Structures are given as structure tokens and as C-alpha cells.
Amino acid sequence: MMSSPFVQRLFPVRNGPASIQLHFSPVRRPTSPVGWLLLLAGLAVAVVEAVAFFETQADLAERAFIVDALRAERAAAAPAAPARPPLAADELRAAGRVFSRLDTDWSGVFAALARVRDNDVAWVEVELLAAGEGETSQGGMLRLTGQARTLDAVLGVSDRIRKDPAFVEPQLVSHEVVTGQAGGGVRFTLTTRWGPHG
């Protein structure tokens, strides 16, 4: 049992062993040469990567500067786009015809044509003529070409078109008897106004 020097002075021990003084100092192991080599290699790799990174950044900045300079040069050298001449009157009319065809309610046209036909009539061609003055973009004049078995079938479909509220002022333009085909028939053409009307 160890005691402090103060206690030993107060209570001296006679014929006892001398006190043992212990000093614990850390034992230092020598650094391994392999560790030093690994540290140096890591530092060298870090330096090489840092140099490569900064070189890449400088190269990218230089390329971005060159691209910006080329764009500015091209914009300055590009000729101004020539002004387009205004459309002529016939071009405006043609554009109006195209727009009227695009805006037509074709599903409504074909649904109405399906309502008025029967088994003796087949529609061969449906053509939208020029939209008349005062008609909406969904309206226009239709030229209907059909094939019927008999002249009575032609008169019947003309009558049904006249009674259908989707068509206005239908007129039978022409009809001709077709020969040389199996069973023959009558080819006819009629015109009618199509579109919203009251």
C-alpha cells in the first residue's frame, strides 16, 4: 500500500521497505518507412489531380469564351431577314378557301349525309366549295356527287336533303345514266349550303 509523503512524515514507518517511485512514460514506436512512402504517394496523387482539375477549368473557360465570341461575330455578320411582301388578293382568297375547309365540321357533314342516304344511294365525292359571304367559318357550299340505282332513288335522296335541317337550298345540278357497269345506275351531282342557320 502506497502512501503520500505527507502521511509518511506524520507516521514514519520503521524498518519498512523504501517507497517505490514509478514513472509511466509512453513508449514511442518508430514510424514505419512504408507509412512514410504511402503518405508521400497520397500527397503526390492529390497534387497531380489538383493540377489536372485547374487545367481543365481553364480549358473550359477558354472554350466558352471562344464560343461566345463566335456567336457574337455570327450575329453581327448575319444579314437582316428581308421583309415579306404582302399577299396578293388571289393569294388571300386561296388562303381563305383553305382555312374554311380546315374549319369545317366534317364529322357533322358526314353524319348528316349518312342520315339522308339509303341502300340505293352511295356518296362518291363530297367537296366544299368557297364559303359564301355572311357564312361562318363552319359553313360553306357543298357539291355532293353520288351514285344511285335508279332515278327514283336520286329524287328520294334529294327530297330527304331538302327536308333535313342541316342543309339549305339544295339543288340537283346534273344526273346521267351510267351504262356498262354491273346493274347500271344513275350518277348525280347536287349542291347545297351547309352550316349553322336559323
Domain ranges of the chain: 32-78, 104-194
Is 77's pLDDT higher than 60? yes
Q: What is the mean pLDDT of residues 13-25?
A: 66
Residue 142 CA to residue 46 CA, distance in Å, equals 82
Give me the pLDDT at residue 4, please.
63
Most trustworthy range by pLDDT among 39-53, 65-79, 132-146: 39-53
Assign domain 104-194 to a CATH class.
alpha beta
Q: What are the E-state strand segments in the chain?
A: 121-128, 140-148, 167-178, 185-194
Residue 128 CA to residue 113 CA, distance in Å, equals 14
Give me the pLDDT at residue 136, please.
40
Is 160's pLDDT higher than 60? yes
> Which is higher by pLDDT, 170 or 103?
170
Q: What pLDDT band is residue 133 in, cutting at 50, 70 and 90?
A: very low
Residue 145 CA to residue 174 CA, distance in Å, equals 9
Q: What pLDDT band is residue 108 in, cutting at 50, 70 and 90?
A: confident
Beta carbons of 146 and 188 less than 8 angstroms apart: yes
Give me the pLDDT at residue 55, please.
92
Q: What is the mean pLDDT of residues 41-60?
A: 92
Largest CA distance in the chain: 155
Is 137's pLDDT higher than 50? no
Beta carbons of 160 and 111 less than 8 angstroms apart: no
Which range among 4-18, 32-46, 101-115 shows the weakest confidence by mean pLDDT?
4-18
**pLDDT, tens digit, 9 for 90 and up, residues 182-194:** 667 889 999 988 7
Residue 170 CA to residue 153 CA, distance in Å, equals 16
Report the Cα 188 to chain-centroid distance in Å: 46
With a threshold of 0.75, does the pTM exceed it? no
Give me the pLDDT at residue 198, please.
39
Nearest 5 degrees, angle CA 101-CA 107-CA 113?
Answer: 100
Q: Which of 181, 107, 113 is nearest to 146 (CA)?
A: 113
Give me the pLDDT at residue 43, please.
92
What average pLDDT is seen over the chain?
78
Q: What is the mean pLDDT of residues 64-88?
A: 78
